[in-house]
Structure 1
Amino acid sequence: MEPSGPTLFQTLINQRGWQDYQVFKRRYEQAAKQLAELEGPSSIATATIEKRQFFRYAHGEVRTPQTVARRVLEFMFPGIPATRILGPAESKPGPSPHRPAADDRDAVDPSEYGLEDVVMAAANESAQFAARAESSNVGPHTLEQLEADIRRLVMTYPNRPVGPLFREVRALRDRAFELLEGRQPPRYTSDLYVGAGVLCGVLANASFDLGRYDAAETQARTAFLFGELAGHNGLRSWVRGLQALIAYWDGRPVDAVRLADSGSAFTPESGTAQIRLESIKARAYGQLNRGSDALAALSAADHLRERLAEGDELPGGMMAFPVEKQLFYSSSTHLWLAGTQHLSDAEARADEAVEMFQSAPPEQQRLGEMSLARMDLAMARLGRGDVDGAATQIHAVLGVSARRRTESVDRRIGHFSRQLALHPGAGSPAAIGLREVIIAHQERMPAQLPPGGSQ
């Protein structure tokens, strides 16, 4: 087939700097692995592209790719059908070279591909053009757009399913990496390091939420490195907190305390990262049954909260540590310490945390954290024999978990079920019915990726 002009494929790879076959091949193989991990089947992970095929795509000699190639191409260029990717760059004469051709704008049918994908694809195209229009690969508009995208992701993270969000964060991280690999004025490099570090931190948190602890720790180390390169204490202390949290959930409380102490050396001018570090340390001390150290850490967190300065060096959202989150970390600490008074304190703090989480508008509720606070409340009520009160919280958790599932919540549900089986009231109709509901939940489809921890 004789090409009538440049293909959209050619235009897209030129825009991204992927014109070299070896560069594109690496990108293609990376995309195939990511697609296999996110959507399957696993056989897609070995997909590659031959040099001859690459040039056939670029020259318009292929219009209908095979199934695997189609899926990989559409994964690499979201929102554009493969037949459009391999079609001509312009099918109508006369559009300005400074804007997409009309058929580019209209090629995707919202009813077929999802309106949200189309809208985001259009926004990304506009942002990419604006970045190219600046005198260097990075300018004020590029940084402003990157910061706005990061802020949107961290603000919506606590309310969205983690699996689909992971892909969106990874794409933005790749964009930040591409900018760092280019040439920009030195004054912008530090801001790019912070942006890339935040995105790696979000990916670390998401990997953690999806049960990939090793991957989470790798992402966190990279995030910390960017914090070091930027000299950004807020990012460094937040990442150390995340590393401590991973260690806590991984059953390594001594490492959790060590990492939290390490993070305390990086004191940001404002923000809640240091409160989070003390609260994580309190839970780890609780896990170690070091009661006086745990209570001292809770007291230190309270004092830091009292002296908290306005504002934050990080973009808020999932990276902030609000009062309600501090309360449920406190409730978890008291549950570890056990005893009648600690049980009462745990119930009071968890109950207050749940009320505060619930008071947020539905679209802003921190679902995973609210579920964990409910689990603390359920465990405290079970401890004092209130099976019905515990059941109310468990049913609420199961409802949220059905649409935003994470391993930490699943682990807490499993622990609750085992404690319920050992409870003196385990033979009551309420207890039997609750265990049956939990078993039915556990037998349903697993999390969107292999399960993982949460906040």
Structure 2
Amino acid sequence: MSGPNEFLREARERTPSRRAPGEHMSRSELADTICAWLWDTTEIKYDLDGHYIAKLERGAVRWPGAAYRSGLRHVLGIASDSELGFFPPAGVALNETEPTPPSSMVGHDDDLVNAGDESIALLSYAEESNVGDLTVEQLHADIERIAQSYLRTPIRPLFVKSRAIRDRAFALLAGNQAPRQSRDLYAAAGWAITLLAWMSVDLGRPDIAEGHTRTAWACAEAADHDVLRGWIRATQHTAAYWQEDFARAAAYAEDGLRYNAGTARLFLASAASVDLARLGRTDKARALLDIARTMVVRPAESEPGGVLLCTPERAEGLWANTHLAFGDVRLTSDHADHSVALFEAVPYALRNAGSERMARLQQAKARLLLGELDGAIEAAEPVLLVPPEYRVRPLIQRAAEVAALTTPYVRSPKGRMLRDRVADFTQRTGLPPRPESPDRRPVLEEQT
């Protein structure tokens, strides 16, 4: 591709200026906004300016670094690099870019292990009754920002910030404060640890996630926080599910339904129906699916949002998974289609990017089972363009399920093309090596 980058210029000129009402965003304003967002999410200072944006629009630079591409996608509300006219040079893999701060956990498996050990070590402290004296508004605001930007910005800075919030909350708890403030600090610590657990699952270490959630549960008990309890159970379900321990996943999900937990209840009922369907307990799975489909829930004020919020489109993706376990391929397709349509109706900046990608792959699986190869290719295409730093372990696993369903089509050029593209997608990731997972006991160790 040569000549000016009209995709980028047009995207900028479609974006309203935040400084001059009625005008579009200038190159300088775009650069400043990206730098501010990168500082907010990574705490690293960048020197992007309007001159560099001009170089991008002239086509002098066709493949900027990962951080700049991420900032451009976020500020301009664009889902993929290709929609901004960015394509890697021939012979350069998607993760071979100009030097930028690490955007994944490659080479940092020790950090995952150490963070899990540290959360476990804090368990006894969390179970004690301590008090402190400091407002936690900023801690909770930071948690919301992390949850809402998850899988739309690089994971490593978010992981580091979640860990820092956890440690800051526990440090404050060593002081003296009113009991209400102490509960707020425990809640902040619990949310931060829950995010660490969710990230650990996505980074291929659900075993470490379980250590985090035990301490998170102790924090929820100290805070007497039902919404947090619900999302911890959702996280425990997710960790067990991706270890294919569906009985334990279902036990966590069903137990979580005991709590008045905002939209976590919708997630838990939907997830439990998937688990039970996988176990062959069809009647109970259908009963929980019916409960989920008729459930009226509203976000709780304390829900951070993003990955810790269950929207109707996210629930539809889970229902598609349940019907696939039932063998109802047409209903799988219907729910996956509806899920994707609902996601597309939401502004990109407000979408749960991880759940949307999973729903699209569920859509591709249904198309393959229905004999609709072209439809499967169309459904998978947006996912196959996702940069390596966002290819988390569950997404890789679901993509592998798509690849397995291409076998009947490999004699056709399109079928081979889809199989090969998915294989390339699953091999080019920013994930640490996957360890052997130990056997886990199907019990609710923290239940009270």
* Bucket of the pairwise TM-score, normalised by the shorter protein: 0.5 to 0.7
Query: Percent of aligned pairs with the same residue?
Result: 33
Residues 137 and 246 of structure 1, relative CA distance in 2, 3 Å threshold: closer
Q: Is the 8 A contact 1:163 1:448 kept in 2?
A: no
Give the CA deviation at 1:317.
2.2
Post-superposition CA distance 1:372-405 (Å, at most 9, x none): 1011100100001011110112221111253411
Instruction: Tell me how far apart the structure 1 counterparts of residues 235 and 269 of structure 2 sit (CA, whole Å).
Output: 12
2:195 to 188, 202, 212: 202
Q: Is the 8 A contact 1:190 1:230 kept in 2?
A: yes
1:337 and 2:330 equivalent? no
1:388 and 2:383 equivalent? no
Post-superposition CA distance 1:229-277 (Å, at most 9, x none): 1111111121112111211221111111111222122234xx1111111
Q: Is the 8 A contact 2:389 2:430 kept in 1?
A: no
SS at structure 2 position matched to 1:227: helix
Instruction: Tell me how far apart the structure 1 counterparts of residues 434 and 356 of structure 2 sit (CA, whole Å).
Output: 18
Give the CA deviation at 1:427.
0.7
Query: Structure 1 length as normaliser, TM-score?
Result: 0.65
1:256-295 to structure 2, matched below 5 A, reads: 256-268=249-261, 271-295=262-286
Instruction: Tell me how far apart the structure 1 counterparts of residues 284 and 387 of structure 2 sit (CA, whole Å).
Output: 33
Structure 2 residue identity aligned to 1:291: T
Post-superposition CA distance 1:321-361 (Å, at most 9, x none): 000010000000111111xxx11111011011112112222
Q: Is the 8 A contact 2:369 2:405 kept in 1?
A: no
1:320 corresponding residue in structure 2: 309
1:178 and 2:167 equivalent? no
2:406 to 413, 420, 437: 420
Q: Is the 8 A contact 1:159 1:364 kept in 2?
A: no
1:22-61 to structure 2, matched below 5 A, reads: none
Instruction: Tell me how far apart the structure 2 counterparts of residues 336 and 401 of structure 1 sit (CA, whole Å).
Output: 29
Instruction: Tell me how far apart the structure 2 counterparts of residues 398 and 231 of structure 1 sit (CA, whole Å).
Output: 42
1:55-74 to structure 2, matched below 5 A, reads: none
Give the CA deviation at 1:192.
0.5
Post-superposition CA distance 1:289-334 (Å, at most 9, x none): 22222211111112222xx246443222221100001000000011
Structure 1 residue identity aligned to 2:285: A
Instruction: Tell me how far apart the structure 2 counterparts of residues 299 and 225 of structure 1 sit (CA, whole Å).
Output: 32
Give the CA deviation at 1:158.
4.1
Instruction: Tell me how far apart the structure 2 counterparts of residues 314 and 232 of structure 1 sit (CA, whole Å).
Output: 11
1:303 to 290, 294, 312: 294
Aligned CA RMSD, in angstroms, stands at 2.4
Give the CA deviation at 1:450.
4.4
1:138 to 129, 133, 136: 133
Instruction: Tell me how far apart the structure 1 counterparts of residues 230 and 377 of structure 2 sit (CA, whole Å).
Output: 37
Instruction: Tell me how far apart the structure 2 counterparts of residues 304 and 349 of structure 1 sit (CA, whole Å).
Output: 16
4+ aligned runs moved over 4 Å, structure 1? none
1:167 and 2:172 equivalent? no
2:425 to 418, 432, 441: 441
Higher relative contact order (CA 8 A, sep 6+): 2
Structure 1 residue identity aligned to 2:291: A
Q: Is the 8 A contact 1:163 1:449 kept in 2?
A: no
1:57 corresponding residue in structure 2: none
SS at structure 2 position matched to 1:360: coil
1:225 and 2:218 equivalent? yes
Residues 248 and 443 of structure 1, relative CA distance in 2, 3 Å threshold: closer
Residues 401 and 358 of structure 1, relative CA distance in 2, 3 Å threshold: farther
Instruction: Tell me how far apart the structure 2 counterparts of residues 395 and 302 of structure 1 sit (CA, whole Å).
Output: 29
Count of aligned residue pairs for this structure pair: 312
Unaligned 5+ segments in structure 2 are 1-42, 46-98, 102-130, 436-448
1:399 corresponding residue in structure 2: 385
Q: Is the 8 A contact 1:162 1:210 kept in 2?
A: no
1:246 and 2:239 equivalent? yes
Q: Is the 8 A contact 1:158 1:365 kept in 2?
A: no
Unaligned 5+ segments in structure 1 are 1-77, 81-111, 115-135
Post-superposition CA distance 1:76-105 (Å, at most 9, x none): xx769xxxxxxxxxxxxxxxxxxxxxxxxx
Give the CA deviation at 1:437.
1.6
Give the CA deviation at 1:283.
0.5
